[in-house]
Structure 1
Amino acid sequence: MTGKAVRKNRKLYIVALTGIVILVIGILLQIALGSSPIPLPDVIKSLVATDDSKTTAIVQTLRLPRAVLAVLLGASLAVAGALMQAITRNSLASPQVFGVNAGASLAIVTTLIIWPGMNSQWTVYTAFLGAALGGLTVYLFATGGKTTHVKLALAGMAVHLFLSSLTQGAIVLNEQATDVVYWLVGSISGKDWTHVKILVPWAAGGLILSFILSRSISILVLGENMATGLGEKVKWIRLSAGILVIVLAGASVAVAGPIGFIGLIVPHITRKLVGGDYQRTLPFAALFGAILLVYADILSRYISYPYESPVGIVTALIGAPFFLYLARKGRGIKQ
C-alpha cells in the first residue's frame, strides 16, 4: 500500500470516528434536553435501567424512540438524496427538490381523507406510490428537449409546489384532515416505538441494499458508456436505485412527514470529505444525515422556546440557501 493510500485510509478512519463521536454526543443531548432537562449521568443510567421511575419512563418511552427515529430518518433521506444525485448526475437532485416527498405527502393526505381508519402499514405503501408518481412526473416534464441540471431542478420545484398546493387544498376543504398540518412540515415530535417499528424494516433494508449497490453506482457515475463497457447493466442500476429512493424517502414521509433538504445537503458534504466513490459516499452519507437531523431536532426545540417547532423548519432554513447556491453554480456531480 502506497503512502498516499495509507494517508487516505487514515483520513477516512478519522472522519468516521469523529462522526460517530459527534452522533453519540448528539443522541445523548437529544435525550437529555427538552421541556424538563435530564442530567446526562441520569440519561445514561436510564437507558439501561429496569425500574419504574419517572425519569426512566421519559427516557425509554418518549425520548429514546425519538432519537432512534432521527438517526434512521436522517440516514435514509441522505442516502436517498445521494442515490438521486448519482443516477441523474444532477447536483440539485433530492427527494424534496424532485417532488418525491410532495408526491408521498399528497398520496397520504388524500388517502386519509377517503379512508380515515387506514392503518400505519398501508400508509407506508401509499407513500411509496405517491413518491413514485411525484418523481416520475418530474422526469416526464424535464425530459422534453435538452435536459440541463437547472431545468430538471426547476421542473422538480414546480411539481413539488403544485403537489404541495393540492395537498394544502385537500386539507382546507376537509376539516377532518387539519390534524396533519403539523406533520406536513416534517416533525418527529410525539413519535414512539410504534413508529420506529414501522420505519425500521424499510429503512434498514433500503440502506443495506443501497450499500450493496454502491459499487455499481460508482461505475455508473463515470458515464453510461464506460459502465456498459465494464459489463454493468445501466437500466437495471437506475431502476434499482430509483426503487431504493422511493422506499427510503416514502417510508420517511409516511412516518415523519416531508423533512426537506437533508438529501440535498448531506451528499455534497460527504463527497467533499470522503470523495466520490459511492462505496464510501453512501455509508458516510448515512452517518452525516443522522448527525444533521439529530442536531436539527435539538435546535427545533429552542427556535420558539418554550414551544417546539417542527424539525422540517430547521432543515429548510439550512437547505434553502444551500439549494440557491448550487443552482447558481449549475454544475453536475464531481468525481
Structure 2
Amino acid sequence: MQRKRLIFVLILLSGLAVYSSLFFGITQMNPVHLVQEWISGTTSKAGLVLTNLRLPRLLLGLLLGANLAVAGAIMQAVTRNPLASPQVFGVNAGASFLVVLSLLIFPSLGTANLLYFAFAGALLGGVLVFSFASIRGMTALKLALVGMVIHLLLTSLTKGLILFNDRITNVLYWLSGSLSDASWLELRIVLPWSLAGLILAASLAKSLAVFQLGQDVAVGLGQKVTRIRLLAGISVVLLAGVTVAVAGAIGFIGLMVPHITRRLVGEDYRIVLPVSAVIGGLLLTYADVLARFIAYPYESPVGIVTSLLGAPFFLILARRQMKGGLR
C-alpha cells in the first residue's frame, strides 16, 4: 500500500512539474488557447515558445536531474559514504574545468565535442579525490573533506580562467548551472550518452545492493568488486560529464535525492535507482521553474536554487554522520 501511495504521489508531482515547466515563465500561455491552435493548425508566438523552448527544456531537466541523482546514488553505494555525490567528490568541478579550458583553447567547439572534455574532466576530478584520500588510509570523512578541497580548487581554477580571459566570460552564467539554453539539438546529443549511463547503472543495481553490506561480504558472495567499481565509475563519468557539458555544474541533487529515496523505499538499489531518477528529474524541474521567478522577469541559474536547498542538507547530514561515528 505504501508503494502504491508513493507511485500516486510521484505521478501527481510529475503532472504538476510538467504543467509548471511548460506554462510558467516570462511568456504567458493559456493551455486552452494552445490546444485550440493545435486543432486549427495555426501557430502563435506562445506556441513557438512552447514547442521550441519550453518542451525541450522540460525534457532536458527531467533527464539531467535523473543523471545527477543516479550518479549520486551509485557513488554513495560504491564508497559506502553518505556524503558522496558528483559535486562533493570533485566530479562536477573537474568536468567544468576541462570544458572551460577547452573553450579557451578551441573557441568554436560545439556541444557534441565538449562532451568528451567533460567526460575527461569528470574522470580527472574523481581520480584526484580518491588518490589524495587514499594516502595513509581512506576514511569516509577524509574522502568527503578531500573531495570538497579538490572541488574548491578546481572551481577556483575554472573561475580564474574565465576572469582573466574576456573571450569566455559569457560562460559564467552556465557555470552556475542553467537550463535556459536548452534545445532539441542538445537533447538529441545528450540522450544517447545519458541512456548509456543509466542502463549501465541499472545493470549494476543488484551488485550495488550487495555493496551496502560491505566489501568483505560482497567478495564472499562472489561479487567482482574491482570490475563493479570500474563500471560504476564509468557510469558516473557518463552521467555527470554529459550533464555538466550541457547545463553546467548543478550541485547537490546527487547528494540529496538518494537519501530521500532510501527513506521512502529502503536500501534495495533495484528500486532506489529508478525512483532516484524520477525524483531527481522532478527536483531539477521544480528548481528550474522556481529559478524563473527569483529575479523576475529575468531568469536565475538553476544551480542557485539547488545550492540553497542542498547546502543546509549537506551540513545537517555531515553533522549527523559525525555524531554517529563517521571518522
TM-score by length of 2: 0.95
Displacement, 1:53? 2.5
Q: How far does residue 119 in structure 1 lie from its aligned partner after superposition?
A: 2.4
Q: Does 1:255 align with 2:246?
A: yes
| Aligned counterparts, 1:147-186, within 5 A | 147-186=138-177
Q: Secondary structure of the equivalent of 1:276?
A: coil
The residue that corresponds to 1:214 in the other structure is 205
- Answering whether residue 186 of structure 2 is matched by residue 195 of structure 1, we say yes
Task: From the superposition, tell whether residues 51 and 202 of structure 1 become closer, same or farther in structure 2 (CA, over 3 Å).
Answer: farther
Deviations 1:165-208 (A, max 9, x none): 11011111211010101000000012211111111111122112
- Structure 1 counterpart of 2:87, from 89, 96, 112: 96
> What is the match of residue 319 of structure 1?
310
Q: Are the counterparts in 2 of residues 149 and 330 from structure 1 also a CA contact under 8 Å? A: no
Q: Is the 8 A contact 1:49 1:56 kept in 2?
A: no
Q: How big is the shift at 1:36?
A: 1.9
Q: Please give the secondary structure, in 1, of the residue aligned with 2:204.
A: helix
Structure 1 unpaired stretches of 5+: 1-9
Is 1:95–1:101's contact at 8 Å kept on the other side of the alignment?
yes
User: Which residue does 2:235 correspond to in 1?
Assistant: 244
Cα distance between partner residues in 1 of 2:158 and 2:57? 26
Question: 1:33: which partner in 2?
Answer: 24
Q: Which residue of 2 aligns with 1:328?
A: 319
Map Cα deviations across residues 82-106 of structure 1 (whole Å, 9 max, x no partner).
Answer: 0000001000000011000000000
Q: Distance in 2 between matches of 1:271 and 1:49?
A: 47
Q: Residues of 1 paired with 2:8 and 2:309: CA distance?
A: 25
Q: Letter of the aligned partner of 1:299 in structure 2?
A: L
1:286-325 matches, cutoff 5 A:
286-325=277-316
- The letter for the 2-side match of 1:186 is G
Assess if the C-alpha contact under 8 Å between 1:20 and 1:287 holds in 2: no
Superposed CA deviations along residues 235-293 of structure 1, whole A, max 9, x for unmatched, are 11111111100000000000000000000000000000000100000000001001100
Q: Percent identity?
A: 50
- Deviation larger for 142-151 or 293-302: 142-151
2:47 equivalent to 1:62: no
Cα RMSD (Å) of the superposition?
Answer: 1.6
CA contact (8 A) 2:193 2:239 kept: yes
C-alpha separation between the residues in 1 aligned to 2:122 and 2:75? Answer: 13
Checking the alignment, whether the CA contact within 8 Å between 2:25 and 2:293 is kept in structure 1 is no
Q: 1:131 aligns with which of 111, 114, 122?
A: 122
Q: Which sits farther off after the overlay, 92-101 or 114-123?
A: 114-123
**Residue type at the aligned position of 1:38:** M
Q: Quick one: structure 1 residues 45 and 267, their matched pair in 2 at CA, closer, same or farther if it must change by over 3 Å?
A: farther
Query: What SS does the corresponding residue of 1:211 show, helix, strand or coil?
Result: helix
Deviation of 1:56 after TM superposition, in Å, equals 1.9
Which residue number in structure 2 is paired with residue 6 of structure 1?
none
Range moving further from structure 2, 228-237 or 240-249: 228-237
Deviates more, 1:249-258 or 1:166-175: 166-175
The aligned counterpart of 2:10 is: 19
Number of residue pairs aligned between Structure 1 and Structure 2:
323
1:234 to 209, 225, 230: 225
Sort the Cα spacing of 1:48 and 1:190 in 2 relative to 1 into closer, same or farther, 3 A. farther
Structure 2 distance, partners of 1:45, 1:268, is 43
Give the partner amino acid of 1:203: S
Q: Normalization by structure 1: what TM-score?
A: 0.93
Question: What is aligned with 1:7?
Answer: none
Q: After alignment, is 31-40 or 315-324 more displaced?
A: 31-40
Cα pair 1:32 1:43 within 8 Å, conserved: no
Q: 1:17 to 1:167 in 2, by over 3 A?
A: same
Distance 1:67 1:44 in 2: 18
Q: Distance in 2 between matches of 1:267 and 1:49?
A: 45
Asked whether the equivalents of residues 218 and 279 of structure 1 are also in contact (C-alpha less than 8 Å), the reply is yes
CA–CA distance in structure 2, aligned partners of residues 60 and 298 of structure 1: 17
Q: CA deviation at 1:49?
A: 8.2
User: CA offsets, 1:126-164, max 9 Å, x none?
Assistant: 100000000110111111223222211111110000001
Partner letter of residue 74 of structure 2?
Answer: L
Q: CA deviation at 1:31?
A: 0.8
In structure 2, stretches of 5+ residues that fail to align are none
